Amino acid sequence: MNELVHVIKVGIADMNVVQPPHLIRTSGLGSCVGVVIFDQMKEVAGLAHVMLPDSSLARSETINIAKYADTAVEALVELIIKAGGRKNWLKAKLAGGAQMFSFQSANTDMMRIGPRNVEAVKRELERFRIPVVAEDVGGSSGRTIEFNPKTCILSIRTVNQGVKEI
């Protein structure tokens, strides 16, 4: 019996949760980080498209929790647990965090958005004791990622480099 497979699309500064037979995808990962958190045995996974490392950078009082590493990871863990995932069995895969532009400025740390996003996501995952089991981060090319919660394979399509699976 063939099941209808839907691809759940996650936009920039967004998150969602998926279970088989469906897949979850996000595109436009330049300096942004796509963080997939999953429970392999329960076949549940969530994906957040993180834009910035820290919600203290927010300019308004109401913030989009999916936009920042420090709020997105926690919210995604809660969504996965609500969907049946088990906190102590969660694992993560990461992609993105590219350095999309090169700057000759003195304030280089501020412009290292991609690497800072990766560091912030890893710090939050560590806080929740979620191991990163695979990653494809850095570089200078954009990515589109798609995760299959049944196989736990993250397919990564990188601009001018083709597709790889982790």
Any idea what the CATH number is for the domain that residue 24 is in? 3.30.1330.200
Catalytic positions are 32
pTM for the full predicted model: 0.91
List, for residues 130-160, the tens digit of each pLDDT value.
999 999 999 989 999 999 999 999 999 998 8
Query: What is the chain's alpha carbon radius of gyration, rounded to the nearest angstrom?
Result: 15
Domain assignment present for residue 29? The answer is: yes
Domain assignment present for residue 1? The answer is: no
Work out how many domains the chain is built from and give that number. Answer: 1
CB 63 within 8 A of CB 55: yes
Domain assignment present for residue 18? The answer is: yes
Domain assignment of residue 119, given as a range: 7-165
Find all residues with CB under 8 Å of 95, minimum gap 6, and list them: 29, 33, 34, 135, 136, 137, 143, 145, 154, 156, 166
Domain assignment present for residue 2? The answer is: no
Q: Residue 51 carries which DSSP code?
A: -
Domain assignment present for residue 100? The answer is: yes
List, for residues 86-106, the tens digit of each pLDDT value.
999 999 999 999 987 666 554
Domain assignment present for residue 75? The answer is: yes
Domain assignment present for residue 70? The answer is: yes
Find all residues with CB under 8 Å of 55, minimum gap 6, and list them: 63, 65, 67, 68, 70, 71
